[in-house]
Amino acid sequence: MSRARSGRDARRAARRGGAGSGPTTSIWPGIEGGQYRPIPKDGIEAIHKTALRILAEIGIASATPRCIDTVVAAGGSVSEAGRLLFPSDMVERVLETAGRGFKLHGQTPEYDLDPSGTRIHLGTSGAAVHIVDSESGEVRDTTLADLYDMARLAEALPNIHMFQRTVVARDILDPHAMELNTAYACAAGTQKPIGTSFSSVETMQAAVEMFHMIAGGEDAWRARPFCCVSTCFIVPPLTFAEEALGIIECAAETGTPLKLVSAGQAGATSPAPLAGAVAQQTAEVLAGLVYVNLLNPGHPALFGALPFVSDLRTGAMSGGSAEQGVLMAACAQMAQHYRIPCAVSAGMTDAKLPDFQAGYEKGITELLSALAGANLIYEAAGMYGSLLAASKESFVLDNDLIGSVMRATRGFEINEDALAFDVIREVCLGGPGHFLGSDQTLGRMQSDYYYPALADRATPQAWADAETPALLHTAREKTREILEQPANVVFGPDRNSKILARFPEIREVWPEVACSVSSVNT
């Protein structure tokens, strides 16, 4: 009996040493999805043909002279109404040259992402202007220090794979200074692939110069560009945003990856039927892909068809709706049809706080996108109020949620060891009648099961006896723990000093962070 008790104690110790202590081998960046296909095969071809008809017969308004000249030289034309038309054969010909097989780079190779096939990765994005205090319910403006905090949280949390700007630095009024500081704060806070956006070519050129300094020179940047610029180059329905065409041109010239975004709202700026919304957004993104590949064949560009949902009772955006998840899954299918890496949006709950509504809306939209094999799932951490608000402790909560989404997407493997016939025979015919102590169970604890860091799995009585704090309280404590670590820039003090000397409008963000850490309730 003593030996048996000793063996059980050893096994329990082994379990405690692995389970829940950190990332397990059950999930990894780039797990393959593709199990969920809301569009049938004939539907994909129908949407593709409709998108081609839209480009050829309706076209895109407000093209700039350079865009018109470039597309017309390749076989396009301008209608009597002044709209730029894209013949179907030209679109399909140019798409053959589109960038495929590229990576999204981190500042160091360990964080590189491979967005090919149906490999999934989840991260952040957005332009929230508010933070809601989850204890008091107070709302305040977002700041540059908040953005830097969030980049640091993304750096520390293993299931957040990339960091695109989450909040607007509303404490910086000048647009050029704000956007340059935004790029700096993202790159200073995390070595993972980052993303941001620019409203002018001048600001983007300055930011790319800064990226050269971080990377170690222009050649190093072109070899491993670690920032993907998001550009909403379309004002739906079917109108170019003229300034954004300049951003596409700047990206093509500087070797900067692009997220080509068209974000209509179904029932408002794109058709109410979901198929029509996908067709329109597909056409709009194809127009951007044609343009950037005429400028620079093979340029790394993400297929960012993002039809959002309107609550047709009020006209308000509904980022947490089930339809939003279905639309993003459908757009992932269209990108896979073109064999171009895609970017979708999921996790944009309509809830204002980390509550039950937030949990189910984030869960369903992120899981549908992941199961569809969406390569890059943005807005997956930290966002509330349909992108109008953000939460720091939600990064910690969403890190758990993302891990579960990835584990569900992975499914399970079928092989002789997994089918476990020999183990079943041993346990049932000559063993203890249970599998708790078997070598296979212990060996599979980390490879087959994901253990959320925060979720409480105790029995109700054990939970009550332990006076376990609420999950949100635990998330605040974990957030505080991360942000109380020494703040610095990930690319080192020497490069940082040169950047601050070259760009006097850039702020050092970490002195401000120290003031906010003691009251992390956002």
pTM score over 0.85? yes
The dihedral sign for the CA sequence 399, 400, 403, 408: negative
pLDDT at 15 over 50: no
Establish whether the linkage from the previous residue to 237 is cis, with ω within 30° of 0.
yes
Length of the chain: 522
Least confident residue range of 109-118, 129-138, 247-256: 129-138
Q: Per-residue confidence at 21, pLDDT binned at 50, 70, 90? A: very low
Is residue 292 classed as helix, strand or coil in its secondary structure? helix
- Round the average pLDDT of the chain to a whole number and report it: 92
Q: Per-residue confidence at 148, pLDDT binned at 50, 70, 90? A: very high
What the block records as the tokens of 490 is 């990930």
Q: Per-residue confidence at 510, pLDDT binned at 50, 70, 90? A: low
- Rounded Cα distance between 300 and 172, Å, is 31
Q: What is the pLDDT of residues 313-365, one digit of tens each?
A: 998 899 999 999 999 999 999 999 999 999 999 999 999 999 999 999 999 99
Q: What is the DSSP letter of 373?
A: T
List, in sequence order, the alpha helices (H) in 339-451.
356-371, 393-410, 416-419, 421-430, 439-448
Q: What is the pLDDT of residues 258-315, one digit of tens each?
A: 999 999 999 999 999 999 999 999 999 999 999 999 999 999 999 999 999 988 899 8
Q: Per-residue confidence at 13, pLDDT binned at 50, 70, 90? A: very low
Mean pLDDT of 417-446: 93
Instruction: Answer left, alpha or beta for residue 76, where phi above 0 means left and psi between -120 and 50 means alpha.
Output: beta
What the block records as the tokens of 3 is 């030996």
- Rounded Cα distance between 181 and 500, Å, is 11
For residues 152 and 163, the answer to whether their CB atoms sit within 8 Å is no
Virtual torsion, Cα 365, 371, 375, 377, nearest 10 deg: 20
CA-to-CA dists, residue 379 to 26, 126, 356, angstroms: 23, 6, 18
Q: What is the pLDDT of residues 78-96, one digit of tens each?
A: 999 999 999 999 999 999 9
Is residue 470 classed as helix, strand or coil in its secondary structure? coil
Q: What is the pLDDT of residues 240-258, one digit of tens each?
A: 999 999 999 999 999 999 9
Q: Are strands 162-164 and 121-124 parallel, antiparallel or unpaired?
A: parallel
- Structural domains in the chain, CATH included, are 30-410+452-522 (3.20.20.480)
Mean pLDDT of 474-480: 95
Mean pLDDT of 368-390: 97
Q: Can you list the positions of beta strands (E) in 249-347?
A: 258-262, 265-266, 301-305, 308-309, 343-345
Q: Are strands 77-78 and 84-85 parallel, antiparallel or unpaired?
A: antiparallel
Mean pLDDT of 13-17: 38
Burial environment of residue 422 by CB neighbours within 10 A (0 to 12, 13 to 18, 19 or more): exposed
So what's the pLDDT on residue 478? 95
What the block records as the tokens of 130 is 């508010």
So what's the pLDDT on residue 430? 87
The partner residues of 389 in beta bridges, in order of sequence, read 130, 384
CA-to-CA dists, residue 122 to 119, 241, 267, angstroms: 10, 28, 28
